[in-house]
């Protein structure tokens, strides 16, 4: 890998030296960061501001309108890329011509692109930070964003913290452009059948398990279960990594939060009738509640929206339950795939315009209304989530954003992907929690050692 990286560096050095980012002053040919509704540090028009603020504005760099072609690498394909963001960028930043590059997120594919003299300027970092680190492509955005007056305060602070947690130095190594929400979906029809009250706000996990217990039984020849987990939300609320990001040491027996999580899951699996190899799920209307993603209701219900609306008419969403010591707290940010600028790009200024426009209120509102949660902190935009989706009409969509996101760990760990808490193994064995965590820790540590050896 190191030889490949050195070879790559030599190739890049033969190309024109990175263009200097120049501040210009001609208002006729230059523009502020992004379009007129792009969030910046200078959007407050306060007549009482001092001359110092005006001087600060004058010191900010201004973007050039000179024509430029940006290469953007994603796994989306050209058609979805253009409909998702490309058309918007070219409308708001007409001096930028976009060229889409197909990328599967791997180091190998990127090396093939470089060998063909294709150097992406912007990448969707959907496979994490490591491929960019391996190829020395990481480019922190902090200094450029400050130089051009972008206000990070317009973004959800937990989303910003998640991006910083990817980097050993805590730098902002990308711009979050979307995130995921998790909620408690429930079927009123099953609650009514068992005479149980619907989920309410501010419930704890233990209270939800009590509801689940009342509805895990057979009625009219049908076996019902009270709850299913489509996402490990209780663990995600605890803001913990399974491994040490530096050493790769597995922390399952060292961090008490894993025992806390397993104790909850033990209660869940011990509900009589909860473990059933032949059981169907929430989508088949045999489960009363499902902890699941914001798009869950778009995954089932019929071939058309009209069919789905009829099928799901008794289904709704409640806020995510929480731990007693973490009341009214959602999970850490999930589903974030940031835009990253390639350190080898010769068009970093235009690339920065691209990533800033991706978090403009106008564009983020479009995403939110179409069903992709915004990364902005603006509650008015958050509340427009799913406004254009017929399946969400009449649903309690505000439940997804009722509680703030949990603060992510200070540093995310690449090695977590090698750790698996196999709940099927746990339920089918006679191991207690300590034994299970110790076994999982030992097995995971071996996997990590093997992975480390292969990467040397």
- CA dihedral 254→260→263→267, nearest 10 degrees, is -160
d(CA 190, CA 199): 12
For residue 72, give every residue at least 6 positions away whose Cβ sits within 8 Å of its Cβ, in sequence order, or none. 81, 86, 98, 99, 100, 101, 120, 121, 122, 123, 124, 354
Mean pLDDT of 429-435: 96
Can you tell me which residue has the tokens 């820790």?
A: 441
d(CA 119, CA 351): 13
pLDDT of 447 strictly over 70: yes
Question: What pLDDT digit, counting tens, does each position of 74-100 carry?
Answer: 999 999 999 999 999 999 999 999 999
- pTM, full prediction: 0.85
SS3 317: strand
pLDDT of 365 strictly over 70: yes
Give the CATH number of domain 2-179+336-401.
3.40.190.10
* DSSP line for 243-300: B-TTT--B-TTT-HHHHHHHHHHHHHHTSTT---TT---GGGT-EEEEEEETTGGGSS
Mean pLDDT of 399-404: 94
d(CA 183, CA 398): 10
What are the φ/ψ torsions at residue 288 (nearest 5 degrees)? -75, -35
CA neighbours closer than 13 Å in the CB half-sphere of residue 39: 19
**So what's the architecture of 182-329+420-455 in CATH?**
3-Layer(aba) Sandwich (3.40)
Q: Are 411 and 400 a contacting pair, CB within 8 Å?
A: no
Question: Among residues 275, 266, 245, which one has the least CA distance to residue 419?
Answer: 245
Return the H-helix or E-strand segment holding 444: helix 433-455
CA neighbours closer than 13 Å in the CB half-sphere of residue 331: 22
Q: Are 17 and 344 a contacting pair, CB within 8 Å?
A: no
Question: What pLDDT digit, counting tens, does each position of 86-137 carry?
Answer: 999 999 999 999 999 999 999 999 999 999 999 999 999 999 999 999 999 9
Question: What pLDDT digit, counting tens, does each position of 218-258 carry?
Answer: 999 999 999 999 999 999 999 999 999 999 999 999 999 99
pLDDT of 32 strictly over 60: no
The confidence score (pLDDT) of residue 57 equals 66
d(CA 45, CA 53): 11
Q: Provide the mean pLDDT of the chain.
A: 89
pLDDT-above-70 percentage for the chain: 87
SS3 322: strand
pLDDT of 395 strictly over 60: yes
SS3 225: strand
CATH 3.40.190.10, the chain: domain bounds:
2-179+336-401, 182-329+420-455
Beta strand 182-187 with 315-318 is antiparallel
Return the H-helix or E-strand segment holding 122: strand 122-124
């Amino acid at each position: 890998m190191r030889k490949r990286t050195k070879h790559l560096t030599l190739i890049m050095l033969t190309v024109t030296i990175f263009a200097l980012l120049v501040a210009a002053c001609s208002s006729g040919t230059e523009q502020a960061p992004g379009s007129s509704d792009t969030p910046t540090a200078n959007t407050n028009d306060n007549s009482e501001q001092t001359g110092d603020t005006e001087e600060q504005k004058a010191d900010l760099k201004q973007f050039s309108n000179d024509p430029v072609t940006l290469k953007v690498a994603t796994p989306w394909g050209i058609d979805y890329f253009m409909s998702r963001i490309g058309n918007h960028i070219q409308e708001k930043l007409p001096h930028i011509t976009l060229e889409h590059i197909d990328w599967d997120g791997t180091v190998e594919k990127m090396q093939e692109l470089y060998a063909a003299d294709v150097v992406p300027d912007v990448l969707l970092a959907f496979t994490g930070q490591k491929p960019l680190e391996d190829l020395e492509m990481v480019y922190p955005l902090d200094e450029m964003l400050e130089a051009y007056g972008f206000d990070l305060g317009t973004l959800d602070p937990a989303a910003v913290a998640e991006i910083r947690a990817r980097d050993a130095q805590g730098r902002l190594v990308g711009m979050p452009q979307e995130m995921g929400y998790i909620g408690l979906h429930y079927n009123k029809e099953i609650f009514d059948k068992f005479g149980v009250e619907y989920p309410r706000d501010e419930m704890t996990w233990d209270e939800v398990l009590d509801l689940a217990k009342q509805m895990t039984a057979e009625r009219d020849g049908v076996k019902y279960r009270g709850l299913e987990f489509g996402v490990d939300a209780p663990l995600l609320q605890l803001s913990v990594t399974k491994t040490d990001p530096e050493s790769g040491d597995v922390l399952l027996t060292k961090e008490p939060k894993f025992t806390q999580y397993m104790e909850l899951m033990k209660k869940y699996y011990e509900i009589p009738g909860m473990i059933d190899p032949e059981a169907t799920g929430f989508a088949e209307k045999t489960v009363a509640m499902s902890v699941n993603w914001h798009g869950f209701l778009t995954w089932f219900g019929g071939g058309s929206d009209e069919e789905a609306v009829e099928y799901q008419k008794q289904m709704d969403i409640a806020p995510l339950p929480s731990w007693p010591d973490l009341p009214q707290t959602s999970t850490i940010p999930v589903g974030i795939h940031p835009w990253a600028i390639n350190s080898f790009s010769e068009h970093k200024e235009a690339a920065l315009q691209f990533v800033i426009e991706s978090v403009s209120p106008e564009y983020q509102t479009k995403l939110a209304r179409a069903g992709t949660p915004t990364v902005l902190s603006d509650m008015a935009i958050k509340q427009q989530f799913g406004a254009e989706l017929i399946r969400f009409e009449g649903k309690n969509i505000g439940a997804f954003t009722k509680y703030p996101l949990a603060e992510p760990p200070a540093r995310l760990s690449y090695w977590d992907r090698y750790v698996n808490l196999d709940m099927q193994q746990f339920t089918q064995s006679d191991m207690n929690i300590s034994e299970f965590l110790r076994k999982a820790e030992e097995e995971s540590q071996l996997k990590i050692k093997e992975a480390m050896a292969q990467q040397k």
